[in-house]
Amino acid sequence: MDDWRELKLMTKALADIARLTIVYHLARHGEVTVTDLTEMLHLSQPLVSWHLRKLRRAGLIETRRAGRLVHCSLNSESFRSCLQRLENLIDPAIFIEAPPVGSALIEADAALED
């Protein structure tokens, strides 16, 4: 069940144009400061930080602080894992043991929202 929750958290974090754009820039530039991202995206620093927090909580990016600057980088391994899990969902050759059903499905989804 934890794999399902983690996949939901990741896909939910990616379900936003600004966050997809952040992933795009991080994939091409390696490590980028929050200040640079605000300039690239033409968004306010608080809004960029809010989007980064969603991506960080999903494990899709990593951050490090150097003085007053926060540097961000894509967690490529985590991103590729997310893509692989999504591919596994539609691959008829891969059997997923015990996908959630019934009340367990609803409860698992509700628990993640808390």
Q: DSSP letters of the chain?
A: -HHHHHHHHHHHHHSSHHHHHHHHHHHHHSEEEHHHHHHHHT--HHHHHHHHHHHHHTTSEEEEEETTEEEEEE-HHHHHHHHHHHHHHH-TT-PPSS---HHHHHHHHHHHH-
Are 45 and 38 in contact by the 8 Å Cβ rule? The answer is yes
User: What is the number of residues in the chain?
Assistant: 114
CATH number, span 2-91: 1.10.10.10
In tens, the pLDDT along 9-40 reads: 999 999 999 999 999 999 999 999 999 999 99
In tens, the pLDDT along 73-96 reads: 999 999 999 999 899 888 888 877
Phi, psi of 81 (to 5 degrees): -65, -40
**101 or 27: which carries more pLDDT confidence?**
27
pTM of the model as a whole: 0.83
Q: Alpha-carbon distance 69 to 84, whole Å?
A: 33
Greatest Cα pair distance, the chain, in angstroms, is: 50
